[in-house]
Structure 1
Amino acid sequence: MKERILEIALKEIQYKGFRFTMNDLARQAGISTKTLYVMYTSKVEIIDQLLDQAMDEIRIREEAIIADPNQKLMDKIRQLLILVPSDFQFFHMNRLYELQRYYPEQWQRLDQFVNVQWDGVRQLLQEGIASRKLKSFPIDLFIEMYIGGLYRLLEQSAKQEFHMTLEDALEAMIDIMLGGIMNREGE
Structure 2
Amino acid sequence: MKENIIQAVTKEIHQRGLRFSIRDVASQLGISTKTVYQHFESKEQMISSIVEHAVKDMMDIEKEVMANDTLSLQEKLYRALTVLPRRFVFQDVRILDELRQRYPQQWKVLDDYMNNGWNGILLLVEQGVEEGALKPFDMELFISVYVGALYQLMDQKRSDSRRMSLEEALAGMVDFLMYGITKQSPGKSYS
Match of 2:115 in 1: 115
- Equivalent in the alignment of 1:150: 150
- Deviates further, 61-70 or 81-90: 81-90
- 1:160 is aligned with what amino acid? R
Q: Contact conserved, 1:77 with 1:124, CA < 8 A, in 2?
A: yes
Structure 2 residue 154 is the aligned partner of structure 1 residue 160? no
Query: CA 1:149–1:124 in 2, change beyond 3 Å: closer, same or farther?
Result: same
Note closer, same or farther for the CA distance 1:122–1:83 as it changes in structure 2 (3 Å cut): same
Give the fraction of aligned pairs with identical amino acids, expressed as a percent: 37
* Unaligned stretches of 5+ residues in structure 1: none
Count of residue pairs brought into register by the alignment: 183
User: What does the per-residue CA deviation read over 1:49-105, in whole Å, with 9 as the maximum and x for residues that have no partner?
Assistant: 101110110111111111112211100000000001122277210000000111111
Match of 1:43 in 2: 43
SS in 1 for 2:18: coil
The corresponding residue for 1:100 is: 100
CA–CA distance in structure 1, aligned partners of residues 40 and 134 of structure 2: 48
> Aligned with 2:41: secondary structure?
coil
Structure 2 residue ranges without an equivalent (≥5)? none
2:56 aligned counterpart, secondary structure: helix
Q: Which residue of 1 aligns with 2:134?
A: 134
Q: What displacement does 1:165 show?
A: 0.2
Distance 1:90 1:16 in 2: 12
Paired residues of 1:62 and 1:80 also in contact (CA < 8 A): yes
1:19 equivalent in alignment to 2:19: yes
The code of the aligned residue for 2:144 comes to E
Runs of 4+ in 1 over 4 A off after TM superposition: 183-187
With the length of structure 1 as denominator, give the TM-score of the two structures: 0.92
Structure 2 residue identity aligned to 1:44 = E
* Contact 1:89/1:166 (<8 A) preserved: no
Select between 16-25 and 102-111 the one with higher mean Cα deviation. Answer: 102-111
Q: Check conservation: 2:13, 2:89, Cα contact below 8 A.
A: no
Corresponding residue for residue 60 of structure 2: 60
| Partner SS for 1:17 | helix
Query: Retained in 2: the 8 A contact 1:90–1:167?
Result: no
Shift of 1:144: 1.1
What is residue 80 of structure 1 aligned with on the other side?
80
Matched to 1:121, the amino acid is I
